[in-house]
Amino acid sequence: MIDAISERVKSGLRSLQDYWSISYGAAVSLASRPRYWRETLDQMDFIGVGSLTIVTLTGLFTGMVLTVQSSATLDAFGARPYVGRMVSLSMLRELGPVLTALMVTGRVGSGMAAELGSMVVTQQIDALRSFGTDPLRKLVAPRLIAGVVMVPALTVLSDAVGMIGGYLVARFTLRLGTGLYWHSSLDAIKMHDIFMGLIKPFVFGFIIVSVGCYQGLTTTGGTRGVGESTTSSVVVGSVLILASDYFLNLLILRFVYP
């Protein structure tokens, strides 16, 4: 049993080392040429444009559900007019970034792992190396740029749609005035809330892409291994997003909030 535990620890450390090597190598390659801007734009389209529908629907229904739930709580204190404040702050600080990242990792992280894993098992990665092309520079670096740029953009969209969804419920279900809702929502937002809501997606975008690429490039076992890498990409990415969200909250609340 001790040997089994020791082997698992060694395997985990090797995996962590490989993950660091891939992520660091791709990040360092951004500082020098050649840079593959066409691949970067293609990945921006895949991550950003391709995720618009799922992110929009997630933000919309999250804002609507949040409005219904918060109004039920606030009504007990006669504070229904503050429902806009709760919706805007909840979406901006926490729900918008986290739910967007989870949706994107389910769609994009799995897709990257499957694509790169298929390239590994069909020896396309070896072919790139034989032609003198660095796979990290050509395949991983463009995805990192796209993830770090597009996940924050999708988060802003999710936040805005969530607030609009909250307004629709507040206006037509709760009979709350338009001016009252938006004044409460916008008046509650401060600069540190915006900072908190925007710094997280950059970290989440890096996690989504780096985990997806790592799982894809370390695929073994043929087509079955591709499926396992795809599943692992979603599971590991989701857990890391939630864990990093906790620690980011601790840091931001400690050093940014008054």
Q: How confident is the model at residue 113 (pLDDT cuts 50, 70, 90)?
A: very high
Q: Which amino acid is at 176?
A: L
Cα 144 to its chain centre, rounded Å, is 12
CA distance 221 to 80: 57
Every domain of the chain and the residues it spans: 45-253
Q: Tell me, what's the pLDDT at 1?
A: 65
Q: How confident is the model at residue 205 (pLDDT cuts 50, 70, 90)?
A: very high
Of the ranges 2-16, 185-199, 242-256, which one carries the lowest mean pLDDT score?
Answer: 2-16
Average pLDDT rounded to a whole number, residues 86-102? 93
Q: How confident is the model at residue 220 (pLDDT cuts 50, 70, 90)?
A: confident
Q: How far is CA 144 from CA 21, 31, 214, in A?
A: 14, 13, 12
Taking only the tens place, the pLDDT of each residue in 176-185 is 888 889 988 8
Taking only the tens place, the pLDDT of each residue in 132-189 is 888 898 999 999 999 999 999 999 999 999 999 999 999 888 888 888 899 888 888 8
Average pLDDT, the chain: 89
